[in-house]
Amino acid sequence: MAKSTLKPIMVLSDAHGFYHSLSAVLIHAGLIDPDLKWTGKNTIIIQIGDIIDRGHDYKAIDLILNYLQNESKKEKGQVIRLLGNHELEILKKNYFVTTMPYWEITPFRDKLINDILTGKVQAAWSGRGFLFTHSGCTDAMYEVLKKDLPPKPTAQQIAKLLNNILVESVKKEDFSHPIFYVSQSRGGRDPFAGIFWADLNELLLSHNACPFKQIVGHTMVPQIIISPDKKVICVDVGMPRVFEGKFEYLKFKNNKYKIIKIEG
């Protein structure tokens, strides 16, 4: 029987400034050692977005993720960083939503723009038949996107479109595209939520028209949620819960995924 060439995938929830929790998860998963050396071989890490706010160590998170992006490549691994809604609002200069000290905002924004333009931070990624975004693609969002897609799009084609939209929006500093919408359920005024601001309930109630499975963060849940039709998985169980012994993360081996628990 032929040996599978598929790389392992690990999906990390919103980090929100909790560096020590994040590093503990990476060590638990065997992806780094206590000296921060990459030990994950050819594993693909997907960090689902929102590295800032709440906790205070966002700089350390930013640094370690950038460092691991470089180190993982040496062993044919990969670290995918997705944009979260908290980072998005910094791009949009809606600084009232952040807990970041005001004197740190501009340097962070400048670096974030560069990271997006150089592909280090993305809007979306696809793999194993799933579309990975921060909060998900609702049916209303898909209706907008499919105008620029082939009749039966793959998750890879949708991810490419979303990434192109993000890059062009950053270049023009124009965030009016519907992928950036904030619906009323999250305090916005738009008719539906884009891929950064969709509440999990919105996504669970309106994803049937989307021809792909999705993995998201954004809405904090007590444990990893898998929808009854298995088309939506939410992984944001709250990074601070690592040291409470109540954390979970998602790991793919070949085409099967497993929920890994960190228990106290």
Strands 121-122 and 78-82: parallel
Tell me the pTM.
Answer: 0.95
Contact 213, 232 (CB under 8 A): yes
Cβ atoms of residues 58 and 17 within 8 Å: yes
> What percent of the chain shows pLDDT beyond 70?
98
Q: Are 32 and 66 in contact (CB under 8 A)?
A: no
Domain 9-263: give its CATH architecture: 4-Layer Sandwich (3.60)
Residue 264: pLDDT band (50, 70, 90) is low
Residues 140 and 146: their CA atoms lie apart, in Å, by 10
- List the domain boundaries for the chain: 9-263
The phi and psi torsions of 72 (rounded to 5 degrees) equal -65, -30
Look up residue 193 and give its two tokens: 């939520």
The residue count of the chain comes to 264
Distance between CA 223 and CA 102 in Å, rounded?
34
Which pair of structure tokens corresponds to residue 65? 């993720």
Instruction: Look at residues 121, 135, 104 and name the one whose alpha carbon lies nearest to residue 95.
Output: 104
Query: Given pLDDT bands bounded at 50, 70 and 90, which one contains residue 3?
Result: low
Phi-psi label, residue 221: left if phi above 0, alpha if psi -120 to 50, beta otherwise: beta
- Which one-letter amino acid corresponds to residue 210? C
Q: For 124-159, how does the pLDDT look when each residue is reduced to its tens digit (9 = 90+)?
A: 999 999 999 999 999 999 999 999 999 989 999 999
pLDDT at residue number 1: 45
Chain segment 52-99, per-residue pLDDT in tens: 998 889 999 999 999 999 999 999 999 999 999 999 999 999 998 899
**Residue 126, SS3 per DSSP:** strand
Mean of pLDDT values over 156-166:
97
Q: What's the whole-number mean pLDDT along residues 218-236?
A: 94
Question: Which of 60, 179, 177, 79 minimizes the C-alpha distance to 123?
Answer: 179
Task: Say what the pLDDT of residue 257 is.
Answer: 94
- Chain-centre distance of CA 184, in angstroms? 22
Q: Residue 240: helix, strand or coil by DSSP? A: helix
pLDDT > 90 in the chain, percent:
83
Considering the chain, what is the average pLDDT of its residues?
A: 93
Q: Which helix (H) or strand (E) holds 122?
A: strand 121-122
| Residue 200 burial (10 A CB sphere; 0-12, 13-18, 19+) | buried
More confidently predicted of 207 and 164: 164
Residue type, 78: Q
